[in-house]
């Protein structure tokens, strides 16, 4: 069984800025995600993934590189009864939506269908076992951009291995966008 997903991995300087923004936020009812789990998922592929076939299908992905910037906090399904605390995208939402659509189009013939929800690029910062009031955390994180903008130049296929302290993500393939 290989559990996997396709994502964009922000540069280390951006993750440094996210860590600095998050470190002082109180999250008594939530389990924080580890820094090495921070990414922008484009598509979850499921539990039975042929990573070589996925990488082959994504080779030659024709979305042009472009800028992105993290910023703007929120919670799913909403801050009042949140289960997931996240930082969204302050710049580059359209690029990431285009990239997610292109990934989905390339992978659909292999049987990897996207879920029916609208794509909302975000970095997951914490998860709650039961719905919790995350309004204070969302307010503390704020709407301001976090870190510098960077150029999204490719996607990564990650293997995900569930563990008691949070899944471990291992990059298995990198696909560079055309210049």
Who's near 152: CB < 8 A, 6+ residues apart? 8, 65, 66, 67, 68, 92, 95, 96, 99, 177
Residue 56 structure tokens: 């082959």
Residue 51 structure tokens: 């990573």
Q: Among 3.90.1140.10, 3.40.47.10, 3.40.50.1100, 3.30.2020.30, what is the CATH number of 3-176?
A: 3.90.1140.10
The CA distance from 29 to 8, in Å, is 28
What are the sequence ranges of the domains in the chain?
A: 3-176
Contact 48, 2 (CB under 8 A): yes
pLDDT-wise least confident of 5-9, 23-27, 149-153: 23-27
Radius of gyration of the chain (CA): 16
pTM, two decimals, is: 0.94
Encode pLDDT of 85-142 as tens digits.
Answer: 999 999 999 999 999 999 999 999 999 998 888 999 999 999 999 999 999 999 999 9
User: In the chain, helix, strand, coil percent, each to 5?
Assistant: 30, 40, 30
């Amino acid at each position: 069984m290989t559990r996997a997903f396709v994502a964009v991995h922000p540069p280390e300087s951006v993750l440094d800025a996210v860590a600095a923004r998050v470190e002082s936020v109180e999250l008594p009812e939530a389990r924080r995600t580890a820094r090495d789990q921070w990414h922008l998922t484009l598509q979850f592929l499921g539990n039975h993934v042929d990573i070589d076939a996925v990488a082959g299908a994504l080779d030659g992905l024709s979305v042009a590189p472009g800028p992105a910037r993290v910023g703007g906090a929120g919670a799913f399904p909403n801050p009042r009864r949140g289960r997931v605390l996240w930082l969204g995208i302050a710049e580059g939402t359209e690029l990431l939506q285009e990239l997610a659509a292109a990934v989905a189009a390339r992978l659909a013939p292999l049987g990897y269908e996207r879920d029916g929800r609208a794509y909302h690029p975000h970095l997951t910062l914490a998860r709650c076992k039961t719905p919790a009031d995350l309004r204070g955390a969302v307010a503390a994180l704020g709407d301001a951009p976090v870190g510098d903008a960077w150029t999204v130049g490719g996607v990564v296929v990650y293997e995900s291995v569930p563990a008691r302290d949070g899944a471990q993500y291992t990059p298995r393939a990198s696909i560079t966008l055309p210049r």
